[in-house]
Structure 1
Amino acid sequence: MFFVHIITTSLYSKWEQKRRNEQEADRRGCKPAPRVPRKGFLGFGYLLEGLAASRDDRHAHHVIEAFDTELGKDVHTVVVPIFDYELIVSRDPVNIQAVLATQSADWDVSEHRADSMRPLFGHGIFTSRGEYWKASRALIRPQFATEQINDLALFERHVWHLFAAIDKRKTGAWTIAFDIQPLFYNLALDVMTEMLYGYSVHSQDPSVRVELPTLPGLEGPDRENIGMHMDEGKAGVETRSALWKYRWLLPSREFFRHCAAVHKYAEWFVELRLRRGNSYMDEISTHQADRFVLLHELAKVNQDAVELRSQTLNVLSAGRDTTAALLGWIVYFLARHPSVWEKLRAEVLDLFGPYEPGDPTVPTGITFRRIRDAMPYMTAVVNETLRVAPVVPLNERVSLCDTTLPRGGGPQGDQPVFVSAGTQILIPTYALGMRPDIWGDDVREYRPERWIDSGGNKTGFEFVPFGGGVRQCIGQQLARLKTAYIIIRLMQRFDRVANAEVPADARTRFHHTIENRSGSGVQVRLRYA
């Protein structure tokens, strides 16, 4: 009888909640959005299909197929039932603007997402909500002022290590066929660890080492494997997030082992900074002592070791992975579109001239301002790459209270939709970038010129590669600057890039480990200028 009472009470509670929601929707003048039919055992069908698509590196395509085949190409906001809860999926810019900006007070990142990410990254700007998030942003944001991130000399040092790694593949005028994607991840990791901690892990060239001071009672950081531990930890986060509140079903021993290794790496530098105080830069700096180091700056206003570890790890993951993935995708598409390569390289050479061998110093004339203001085709290439291969494949929020979406309800999809408190909404950025009614009938074509033709106007909420509104990524300018600078230097050094994937017309694979990278790598050959 006890269990019968529990089941009866639960069913009555759900019925009462449904009735209340319907009454509130009527009061607000809302109409229901289309619903996809419940699928699979206990309604887990869509969740299992999504996990299978992710394993096959086609989750981004799967979302569009689910929209178009289940409800039609003109439906852009749907309700998806999964077991005992429902979520909303929307590729409508008007609804996205409401969630991220105009009605952002009604929404926040879900606690499930935050709980999935915290074991690896801790409490920080990307894993917190509410007041804690506001405090994190206030702590981090001043450090990303233009004058702080405009350290092209730091980028250049690591570009030379990239060149050296590529030169190992040289055979005559060309390189052999190789995957350049891991080299971009090494470069981004090396740049970010130096920017964050004052010391580069030098994953691109392990023979380049800076001896660190010893800390009594504390073992030195694992320099060799930090990238591997981050990748394995992020893969675990991706699966945990996909499983929503059922992530407890996953085995976790290996996941937490990788998390602990990543924490240990950051903790060593935090402890060194806290013990050395303002002399920290003298201890580990191999270049100018007054350069920007995020940990050093954060410790001037916060001395909590766990907070410093968490905030720097949040920035390390975002700064490394988005930039590396974006670089990989740009070269991936340039290798398949030689006319785009030629046009972009002409812009580079016209502004900055050809490659000049010498010391690893920033070539004359390359500045942040010129990259930002004088390279319209570079901007178009970056934007088009982010449209067809968004490095953040999915965004999400959860409603903090009863609220509404501006449209998606009713027979024509033009009526507001009621959203009860605690409802998750998913924003599929790839599906948004593949809408022909927004981007044109050639939506699946990689064509940077569309950004020139439109005058750059498509930069509203139909284009949100770094999110939008109050939680828009504070590091997007850093990501764009690093990406453009490295592409400039590659184009000065190499005059041709050839697609080396076999077969050459293999499908594009979107591999999600929080960020979206090429699942088949970036297989290319480069010709020296």
Structure 2
Amino acid sequence: MPKNLGFENVKTLPAYLEKDYSDLGDYLKFHFDEVGYGVHTFRASALDYELLVTRDPENARAIFQTNSQDFEISPYQKDIWSPLLGDGIFTAQGDAWKHSRQLLRPQFSRDQISDLDLEEEHVQSLLNLPHLKAHTDGWTNSLDLAPLFLNLTMDVATEFLYGRSVNSQALSNTADGVENQKHFAYHLEAGKSWLYTKGLFGKWNRLIRSAGFTRHCNEVHRFVDELVKFRLNAPPSSKFESESSKPNRFFLLDELANYTQNPLELRNETLQLLNAGRDTTGALLGWVFYHLARHNRVFTKLRSIILQDFGNDRTGEISFQKLKSCEYLNHVIQEVLRVAAVVPVNERFATSATMLPRGGGPDGSQPIFVPKGMRILMANYAMQQREDLWGPDVKEFKPERWEEKNSGFEFLPFGAGRRKCIGQQFALTETAYVVVRFLQRFDGLESVDSEEVFFQYIFSNRSGRGVKVRLHEASVNNSV
């Protein structure tokens, strides 16, 4: 197996700087393709420790399934995340993780995520924003959809979690009794930027200190604590009432409060879910429209299918089952997840000496020894760009490939095994719903950004240049 094809190899530095990478997933792909000469597993030096980096599906299978007992999340993840996001499902290990999983998993059952009235209210708020008003020629002004989608997913996530949306799409940007959402979002984003920096230093992360980071953490905690306090102190008669127009709507905080009244535990678990639910879904929506704007054939085909399956009634009922059965819509989302990889890298830590099935020997096809304590980076994005796995058209945005493709461990957009993302169906359902509503209303979508794709990674992979487009509104009677 090639060794030290990693971050200290000075030969890679000029190419790295020339490419201006801000996404670890894209950087690892660069290493595999340009430095590793086609290998799929290598060791990389970082500071005073070694990493094992792999884009081999058989190694992914071993890490997440067959040998999963030998791997855990990094022991440094708790140190890095907990000052901002607390101790919850994404940082816990062992019995603490089992407790969090058992507490949260039932809340993402099909019955809960298939209530699409919540989506409808917030999507209509988005579509009614002045940014999306068309001129007499039918076209909107040029706009950046990326922040609008992040606001949308923030509103949906906060109402699903707390029963109270922060209403980030409203002009007032306020919610009674809590800080301005923009203020909260600023501190959350700034805090996560620090987490990313700390994460790069691994076991040395505690050396990275900032008074500003502490302030960001305090503001985020204060915001969520107010939401938790409001629900815990609510009278029984209003316990299960949300701000929505639908009475007795499910929201997660009240369900969790049946099992614990500990405000710190409630803050930690819901804050970790809020961070994941808002960011990954918002980023995924951005990438969907980023690629639809650049691939008119796909946009036209998808819109035709959506009008056929859902009609052109812009407020007509959309069912969970219909979203799941619209194959081309789901293929488009899968292809976006392949080419953009919202989660481009997964990290694991060897809890005992073990083996991975591939990476050793002169051609990398033999097993490889993994010592206890080694960090492993599962390079999802790089794996999803392998020509030998995906065909000679791997660089093309081609949803049709999924008509015949039965993916295995070469495609892990939401992880795999016991730590697979519990919110997968929630994210996919929200994404599909938004796409349907947008394409019912708009029959034209054009990119106004001629620059090549630029990845920006802060726990989720976003377009570093936003999603700059303009849209053409269909006539009310347009069904084609």
1:114 aligns with 2:66: no
Alignment partner of 1:442: what SS?
coil
**AA paired with 1:371?**
L
Offset from partner CA, 1:115-156 (integer Å, 9 cap, x none): 211111101111211211111010000000010111211101
1:507 aligns with 2:452: yes
1:100 aligns with 2:64: yes
Match of 2:331 among 380, 384, 401: 380
1:44-55 paired onto structure 2 within 5 Å: none
Contact 1:201 1:223 in 2 (8 A): yes
Q: 1:152 is matched with which residue?
A: 116
Offset from partner CA, 1:406-427 (integer Å, 9 cap, x none): 1110112121111111110001
Q: 1:295 is matched with which residue?
A: 253
1:517 aligns with 2:462: yes
1:257-272 paired onto structure 2 within 5 Å: 257-272=215-230
How many angstroms does 1:51 deviate by?
A: 9.4
How many angstroms does 1:112 deviate by?
A: 1.2
How many angstroms does 1:61 deviate by?
A: 3.0
Match of 1:494 among 442, 452, 455: 442
Contact 2:23 2:461 in 1 (8 A): no
Contact 2:323 2:429 in 1 (8 A): yes
**AA paired with 1:183?**
L
1:181 aligns with 2:146: yes
1:469 aligns with 2:422: no
1:68-107 paired onto structure 2 within 5 Å: 68-73=33-38, 75-107=39-71
Contact 1:51 1:242 in 2 (8 A): no
Change over 3 Å in CA distance of 1:382–1:283 after alignment to 2 = closer
Q: 2:478 is matched with which residue?
A: none
1:201 aligns with 2:159: no
How many angstroms does 1:368 deviate by?
A: 0.4
Contact 1:165 1:183 in 2 (8 A): no
1:445 aligns with 2:396: yes
Alignment partner of 2:368: what SS?
strand
Contact 2:348 2:376 in 1 (8 A): yes
How many angstroms does 1:210 deviate by?
A: 5.7
Q: Which runs of 5+ in 2 are unaligned?
A: 475-480
Contact 1:273 1:299 in 2 (8 A): no
Match of 2:3 among 25, 35, 58: 35
Give the distance between the partners of 2:237 and 2:2, measured in 1 at CA.
61
Change over 3 Å in CA distance of 1:379–1:317 after alignment to 2 = same
Match of 1:253 among 211, 221, 230: 211
Match of 1:354 among 288, 300, 312: 312
Give the distance between the partners of 1:446 and 1:35, measured in 2 at CA.
33
Match of 1:428 among 379, 383, 386: 379
How many angstroms does 1:67 deviate by?
A: 1.8
Contact 1:47 1:82 in 2 (8 A): no
**AA paired with 2:102?**
A
Match of 2:354 among 398, 403, 410: 403
Match of 2:96 among 102, 112, 132: 132
1:158-237 paired onto structure 2 within 5 Å: 158-167=122-131, 169-172=133-136, 173-207=138-172, 211=176, 220-237=178-195
Identity of aligned residues (%): 43
Offset from partner CA, 1:215-271 (integer Å, 9 cap, x none): xxxxx4443422222211111111111221232343321122111111111111212
Give the distance between the partners of 2:350 and 2:193, measured in 1 at CA.
26
Contact 1:193 1:201 in 2 (8 A): yes
Change over 3 Å in CA distance of 1:136–1:319 after alignment to 2 = same
Contact 2:173 2:180 in 1 (8 A): no
**AA paired with 1:457?**
N
1:457 aligns with 2:395: no
**Alpha carbon RMSD of aligned pairs, Å?**
2.2
Alignment partner of 2:159: what SS?
helix
Q: 2:316 is matched with which residue?
A: 363
Q: 1:359 is matched with which residue?
A: none
Give the distance between the partners of 1:46 and 1:245, measured in 2 at CA.
26
Q: Which runs of 5+ in 1 are unaligned?
A: 1-32, 213-219, 357-361
Offset from partner CA, 1:319-346 (integer Å, 9 cap, x none): 1111110000000000000000011111
**AA paired with 2:166?**
V
How many corresponding residue pairs? 473
Give the structure-1-normalised TM-score.
0.85
How many angstroms does 1:64 deviate by?
A: 1.8
**AA paired with 2:106?**
P
**AA paired with 1:85?**
Y
**AA paired with 1:445?**
E
Structure exhibiting the larger radius of gyration computed from Cα positions: 1
1:408-419 paired onto structure 2 within 5 Å: 408-419=359-370
Q: 1:528 is matched with which residue?
A: 473
Alignment partner of 1:225: what SS?
helix
Give the distance between the partners of 1:385 and 1:206, measured in 2 at CA.
31
Give the distance between the partners of 1:53 and 1:222, measured in 2 at CA.
40
How many angstroms does 1:211 deviate by?
A: 4.0
Give the distance between the partners of 1:79 and 1:294, measured in 2 at CA.
42
**AA paired with 1:383?**
Q
How many angstroms does 1:493 deviate by?
A: 0.7
**AA paired with 1:488?**
V
1:340 aligns with 2:298: yes
Range moving further from structure 2, 289-298 or 48-57 = 48-57
Contact 2:145 2:467 in 1 (8 A): yes
Contact 2:5 2:36 in 1 (8 A): no
Change over 3 Å in CA distance of 1:125–1:51 after alignment to 2 = farther
Give the structure-2-normalised TM-score.
0.93
Change over 3 Å in CA distance of 1:51–1:124 after alignment to 2 = farther
Contact 2:454 2:464 in 1 (8 A): yes
How many angstroms does 1:277 deviate by?
A: 6.0
Q: 2:281 is matched with which residue?
A: 323
How many angstroms does 1:69 deviate by?
A: 2.9
Range moving further from structure 2, 331-340 or 249-258 = 249-258
Change over 3 Å in CA distance of 1:478–1:168 after alignment to 2 = closer
**AA paired with 1:525?**
R
